[in-house]
């Protein structure tokens, strides 16, 4: 005593596999226009669609592929003749890294130092003054009292001559002299090399008094 069968429990096929194959084989051999019924109009529309997609694709590719340059990440950029454009790197930009790694601990990111402990660099007459003095400070360190921007400090700065190369010292000093509103000229690596050679025998940190003799 079965209930009437539910139509959704059993799918009936509308055509045998064999006839599906045969009908489509026959259809594939006919030309569209023979089939009549306005079929022939469709391929033209599709051909147009196909062509326009390839056309727009090509334009898009030409515009935004940046000539398949492996070093261009912005699709609006075009490679410059003679290789990718290498932006100018200033010594100050390179010096920023040295500053971040070494100097920032005491003199802080904003170059303000720490009141009463570490002197400021921003606006400092020392930082923007004679390069003879600041190169020596970086090479051999500084100890004892010093007046910066009218405030007294009495501390010791680490000598960095053995840690940093001439070029790095030049870069970091250039950075310090041009950051935070400072406007002193860049320091050249050759100047650092010259002073390093002149003071090769120096083993002790400098004192402010010694440096002041070198002029501003």
Six-digit token string for 60:
């898009």
Residue recorded with tokens 């932006």: 87
118 DSSP 8-state letter:
B
> CA-based angle 144:147:152, to the nearest 5?
80
Interface mask toward another protein for 62-81; x: CB under 8 A:
--xxx-xxxxxxxxxx----
Sites for another protein among residues 159-188 (CB under 8 A): 165, 167-168, 171
Please select the residue that binds another protein; options are 41, 44, 50, 92, rule is CB under 8 A: 50
- Which span (31-39, 145-153, 180-188, 203-211) binds another protein, by CB under 8 A? 31-39
Query: Closer CB to another protein, residue 149 or residue 186?
Result: 186
61 is an interface residue for another protein by CB under 8 A: yes
Helix and strand tally (H, E) in the chain?
A: 9, 2
**3-state SS assignment for residue 114:** strand
12 DSSP 8-state letter:
P
Please select the residue that binds another protein; options are 6, 81, 197, 203, rule is CB under 8 A: 6
184 DSSP 8-state letter:
P
Consecutive H or E run containing 49? helix 41-64
Contacting positions for another protein (CB under 8 A):
2, 5-28, 32, 35-37, 39, 42-43, 46, 49-50, 53-54, 56-58, 60-61, 64-66, 68-77, 84-87, 89, 91, 93-94, 97-98, 100, 165, 167-168, 171
């Amino acid at each position: 005593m079965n209930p009437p069968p539910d139509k959704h429990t059993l799918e009936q096929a509308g055509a045998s596999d064999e006839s599906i194959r045969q009908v489509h084989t026959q259809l594939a051999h006919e030309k569209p226009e023979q089939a009549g019924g306005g079929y022939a109009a469709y391929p033209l529309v599709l051909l147009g669609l196909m062509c326009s997609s390839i056309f727009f694709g090509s334009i898009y590719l030409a515009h935004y592929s940046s000539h398949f340059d492996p070093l261009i990440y912005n699709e609006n950029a075009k490679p410059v003749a003679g290789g990718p454009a290498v932006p100018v790197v200033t010594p100050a930009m390179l010096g920023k890294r040295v500053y971040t790694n070494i100097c920032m601990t005491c003199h802080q990111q904003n170059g303000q130092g720490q009141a009463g402990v570490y002197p400021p660099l921003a606006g400092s007459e020392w930082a923007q003054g004679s390069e003879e003095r600041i190169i020596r400070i970086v090479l051999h360190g500084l100890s004892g009292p010093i007046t910066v921007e009218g405030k007294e400090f009495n501390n010791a700065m680490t000598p960095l001559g053995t840690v940093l190369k001439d070029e790095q010292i030049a870069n970091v000093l250039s950075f310090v002299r041009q950051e935070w509103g400072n406007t002193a000229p860049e320091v050249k690596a050759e100047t650092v090399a010259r002073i390093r050679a002149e003071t090769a025998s120096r083993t002790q940190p400098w004192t402010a008094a010694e440096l002041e003799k070198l002029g501003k």
